[in-house]
Amino acid sequence: MDRTPVTNRQFAAFVDATGYITVAEVPPDPKDYPGTPPEMQRAGSLVFHKTAHPVDTTNPGNWWRFEFGANWRHPLGPDSDIETLALWDHPAVHIAYADAEAYAAWAGKDLPTEAEHEFAARGGLNGADYAWGDDLAPGGAMLANYWQGLFPFANQMLDGWERTSPVGAYPPNGFGLVDMIGNTWEWTRDWWRERPESAKKKSRSACCTLSNPRGGKLKESFDPLQPGVRIGGKVLKGGSHLCAPKYRQRYRPAARHPEMIDTSTSHIGFRCVLRP
């Protein structure tokens, strides 16, 4: 498992070497999104916007906005850039699943499975609520980049960061890995399903033991709330800087979230694994 999420510096090296263009930089094909208004058929990505007051937290549309021109180079929209914002050592964001796969292939690596990511995030503390134990902020110490305060309008920024933080800004876990929880969500290889497959024997033969439980199949990952959309969803792990103690708490190693593979946002990144 890579020690850190892939940074903007690393992703830029990949783009410079290959000329790769991310999903967020390509206008959507109307054939893939029937009914999309012509004015929305432009390249862009979802950017988080803090609200000015309390809002209905069951509606993510209250704080997410599709920004034309937002992508990994311009994380807050076309008028922002990673150079001016000094984000070279922050995780690359606005990364769709295909972008993460392309980088991993170029680097001679792979994306982790959901089980691999969770095992790595726990750092050897099986059963603990967090990567360091059962206390979110032991002695008041901020050990990960998550939202402190009332989401999505009041971020106390006790950790010093309103959005992403440089990789390694917080102590490593028991396996020497950093940012396994908080900072940015990370893609995994597994298709989403409500209950991941358990590790169990498929037959009496020890050779058929499922040592690395896997997720579902493509058809099982479609969003039931959008029956007309047949785009698969992968499992995201690790939570992000937008996860709050009173909102979802998805910075826990056990937490998981489905995301359509064509989606990119200002809080989704990735890291790689090297397989023997």
Of 164, 159, 123, 125, nearest to 6 by C-alpha is 164
pLDDT of 196: 59
8 A C-beta contact, residue 201 and residue 259: no
Dist. CA 190–CA 180, nearest whole Å: 17
Regarding pTM above 0.75, the answer is: yes
What are the angstrom distances between the C-alpha of 52 and each of 15, 79, 151, 247, 249? 37, 22, 11, 17, 22
Angle (deg, nearest 10), helices 8-18 and 97-106: 70
Phi and psi, residue 118, nearest 5°: -65, -40
Would you write out the chain's pLDDT as a tens digit for each of its 276 residues? 999 999 999 999 999 999 999 999 999 988 888 788 889 889 999 999 999 999 999 999 999 999 999 999 999 999 999 999 999 999 999 999 999 999 999 999 999 999 999 999 999 999 899 999 999 999 999 999 999 999 999 999 999 999 999 999 999 999 999 999 999 999 999 999 887 565 444 444 333 334 567 777 887 877 776 766 778 899 999 999 999 998 878 889 999 999 999 999 999 999 999 988
Q: Using DSSP, state whether 212 is helix, strand or coil.
A: coil
pLDDT tens-digit profile of 120-133?
Answer: 999 999 989 999 99
pLDDT of 194: 80
- DSSP state, 121? H
pLDDT of 17: 98
Cβ-count burial 146-164 (b if 16+ within 10 Å, e if not): bbbeebbeebeeebebebb
Q: Using DSSP, state whether 75 is helix, strand or coil.
A: coil
Contacts of residue 224, Cβ cutoff 8 Å, sequence gap at least 6: none
Strand partners, 191: 216, 234
Nearest-Å Rg of the Cα atoms of the chain is: 19
Structure tokens at 91: 């995780």
Dist. CA 152–CA 140, nearest whole Å: 22
Dist. CA 184–CA 179, nearest whole Å: 8
| Strand 268-269 to 185-191 pairing | parallel
pLDDT of 21: 98
8 A C-beta contact, residue 161 and residue 87: no
Dist. CA 161–CA 166, nearest whole Å: 9
| Amino acid symbol at 238 | G
pLDDT tens-digit profile of 152-176?
Answer: 999 999 999 999 999 999 999 999 9
Structure tokens at 251: 């910075």
Dist. CA 17–CA 36, nearest whole Å: 34
